[in-house]
Amino acid sequence: MDFESFVSKANACETPEELYRLFTDAVMRFGFDKSIYSFLTHHHSVGYDAGHGLAHNYPEDWQKYYIEKNYIHIDPVPKNAFKTIRAFSWERMTKSTVLSSDELRVMNEADEAQLRSGVGIPLYGINNEIAGFGLANTDGKVQVTDDLLNLLQAYAHQFHINYLKLIKKEDREVIRLTEREKEVLLWFAEGKSLGEIGTILGISDETVRSYRKSIYEKLGANQRTLAVLKAIHYGLVHPYRIEI
């Protein structure tokens, strides 16, 4: 899909999910079969907080591991996005920057998870809002040139503009969770049992069940994974913020 066609089709998308499918099809043409889109800062312009993985097709086991290890605070890719306005290859970044042992571990483990030939794409908006894309290839055979980086940034920027438009215009009921409900949801995201959550928060199992019932009703969910995914989608919680 050439860029002109992508722009036209992106403008016609009616949902964020449709737009993301279009983007993944577009970058697949260049060999990138994995991508992840995140808000690196709060996006008050559309009413969303910072959040990792708002849209992605990264391996679920890697995403779970990444969140469990709190890698969002260690990963050098999003850190580098704050230092440049241009798309960059992960390989070039690792060669031009002195990485800590923890940062190197993240990059090595990403490679082991078959996230290779990586590209980071910073996306700067109004009010100093910053989002970003990570693109990767499972076989590591993509040749990342400057021309390719510029083109990928153009696709990503067009995606970003349309994504913000879609989520801002979404006609949805305002969902409000209490701070305690958010805490329970965050621990759901960490895979904690009702008993473990009760111990952590100093409340009874029955009270945790009560919070769970309220959360499910507010989010229109019938199980914890769906509740967590919906809460993340609406910008209500962000699992990576939990300190393990």
For each of the domains in the chain, give its residue range(s) and CATH number, in order of start: 3-169 (3.30.450.80), 179-237 (1.10.10.10)
Q: What is the overall mean pLDDT for the chain?
A: 90
Mean pLDDT of 23-40: 96
Closest CA to 62 of 54, 53, 50, 73: 53
- The letter for the amino acid at 56 is H
Q: Determine the distance from the C-alpha atom of residue 92 to the mean position of all C-alpha atoms in its chain, rounded to a whole number.
A: 23
Q: What is the pLDDT of residue 238?
A: 62
Pick from 110-119, 134-143, 174-183: least confident: 174-183
pLDDT band at 239 (very low <50, low <70, confident <90, very high): low
Report the phi/psi class of residue 47: left, alpha or beta, with left for phi > 0 and alpha for psi in -120 to 50: left
| Segment 165-187 mean pLDDT | 79
- Alpha carbon distances (Å) from 208 to 90, 175, 241: 43, 20, 21
Residue 237: Cβ-neighbour burial (10 angstroms; 0-12, 13-18, 19+): buried
Residue in 234, 233, 232 with CA at minimum distance from that of residue 242? 232
Instruction: Check residue 174 and give its pLDDT.
Output: 67
Kindly report the CA angle at 32 between 23 and 99, in degrees rounded to 5? 115
**pLDDT confidence of residue 242:** 42
Q: Is the pTM of this model over 0.75?
A: no
DSSP output for 163-193: HHHHHHH---------HHHHHHHHHHHTT--
145-167 pLDDT tens trace? 999 999 999 999 999 999 999 98
pLDDT of residue 10: 95
Confidence check: pLDDT of 169 > 70: no
